[in-house]
Amino acid sequence: MIHRKSQSDLDRMAAAGAIVAETLALLAESARPGMSTLELDEIAERHIRAAGGVPTFKGYRGFPGSICASPNDMIVHGIPADDVVLADGDILSIDVGVTRQGFVGDSAVTIAIGDVPDATRALLRTCQASLFAAVEACQPGCRLGDIGAAVQGVVEGAGFAVVRDLVGHGVGRSMHEDPQVRNYGEAGSGPLLKPGTTLAIEPMITAGAYDIRIDDDGWSIFTTDGSLAAHFEHTVAITDDGPRVLTLLDGDSIVNRPI
């Protein structure tokens, strides 16, 4: 069942989402070669709590971190660790969830650490562009399949692969609500998404095959072929006026942060 949100619910989600956006911006500025993902986690938790939020991921089904930090061929759900040290040329998916006033904001970016090859930058740009296309598809009267089709069109059009076994999700009072949001599908298919629907849309794409494997730690999810993966996410509301992105810095717009 899809829980639709009121205007005041959306405003509270945007307040949680602004903390998420601040945290991601802070981590993107802070990350550099030689730094561990545990250091990033500590920076994130400090900022989130100082801003009046709670790191949603911490303790979720026993997850130990405040963020997920997933380098290179790890797609998502990386546990921050002091022995995962960033190197020049790495890419890193950083995923942040914040709960504030009973509502959750959930957003992710994949950043380049130092210099990365043009082909890697193209992977990141394509993933970000596919998220933007999906957000644009969130118009009143849209169907769930429009979102997946938008992602898939951009990603496969650029020669990359869409991960099939991981999905976005409804989000609101809980981090994971209905519906599941696939990153592939047929435009015009699936349930109608009514105003007040709030979704965490999160394309996960690879430079190789889309098959995944879960690590022995029970969390980290990798590409099976070792190819690089990218991941971008925003929490988005469908409103009568079109999409409202809820995980932005105050005054920011979705299109002004090119990779």
Q: What string marks each residue from 226 to 255 as x (binds Mg ion by CB under 5 A) or -? A: -------x----------------------
Rounded to a whole number of angstroms, the minimum distance from the CB of residue 200 to Mg ion is 4
67 contacts Mg ion (rule: CB under 5 A): no
Rounded to a whole number of angstroms, the minimum distance from the CB of residue 17 to Mg ion is 11
Q: Which part of the chain contacts Mg ion (CB under 5 A), choosing from 8-16, 29-37, 54-62, 101-109?
A: 101-109
200 contacts Mg ion (rule: CB under 5 A): yes
Which of residues 45, 95, 146, 177 is near Mg ion by CB under 5 A?
95
Rounded to a whole number of angstroms, the minimum distance from the CB of residue 166 to Mg ion is 10
DSSP the chain: ------HHHHHHHHHHHHHHHHHHHHHHHH--TT-BHHHHHHHHHHHHHHTT-EETTTTGGG---SEEEEETTEEE-PPP-TT-B--TT-EEEEEEEEEETTEEEEEEEEEE-S---HHHHHHHHHHHHHHHHHHHT--TT-BHHHHHHHHHHHHHHTT-EE-SS--EEE-SSSSSEEEEE-SS--TT-S-B--TT-EEEE--EEESS---EEE-TTSS-EEETT---EEE-BEEEEEETTEEEESS--TT--GGG---
Give the nearer residue to Mg ion in terms of CB position, either 140 or 174: 174
Rounded to a whole number of angstroms, the minimum distance from the CB of residue 106 to Mg ion is 4
Rounded to a whole number of angstroms, the minimum distance from the CB of residue 96 to Mg ion is 7
Q: Which of 258, 237, 257 is nearest to 247 (CA)?
A: 237
Which of residues 106, 131, 179, 244 is near Mg ion by CB under 5 A?
106
Rounded to a whole number of angstroms, the minimum distance from the CB of residue 148 to Mg ion is 15
Q: Which amino acid is at 137?
A: A
Q: Which part of the chain contacts Mg ion (CB under 5 A), choosing from 88-96, 155-163, 177-185, 187-195?
A: 88-96
Give the nearer residue to Mg ion in terms of CB position, either 38 or 181: 181
177 contacts Mg ion (rule: CB under 5 A): no
Q: Which residues form the interface with Mg ion (CB under 5 A)? A: 95, 106, 108, 200, 233
